[in-house]
Structure 1
């Protein structure tokens, strides 16, 4: 995977203006997506475009069970 500084990161539209609580994505080669939390930009999670689409659809439709903690 390219160095994270070489990727063009896009911030979630739901992120706050402060810039410290953001989910960011970047496109990789071969229809893959990289995800990261702006508070931990060195921790990057690569995934397929299809898996990312499923994640977004699950969030949009409230398809996940909240974790009790």
Structure 2
């Protein structure tokens, strides 16, 4: 398995703070993890992630 290249969220607190990281998976899929739990990885489709982010940006899903 090739080594994953993780990208931190632009809302990251920086350093070793709490942040969400993303890495490309198979075409159309993306891996997600929290920086403080790097061995716990979930995978979703790019479409589902895009829909979640749009909902959060619109203030839905009790976004805070």
Is this a same-fold pair by TM over 0.5? Answer: yes
Q: Distance in 1 between matches of 2:14 and 2:5?
A: 19
Whether 2:58 is the aligned partner of 1:53: answer: no
Report matched runs for 1:1-69 at 5 Å.
2=1, 6-65=3-62
Q: Distance in 1 between matches of 2:6 and 2:17?
A: 14
Structure 2 gap segments, 5+ residues each? none
Q: TM-score, normalised by structure 2?
A: 0.86
CA RMSD across the alignment? 1.6
Structure 1 gap segments, 5+ residues each? none
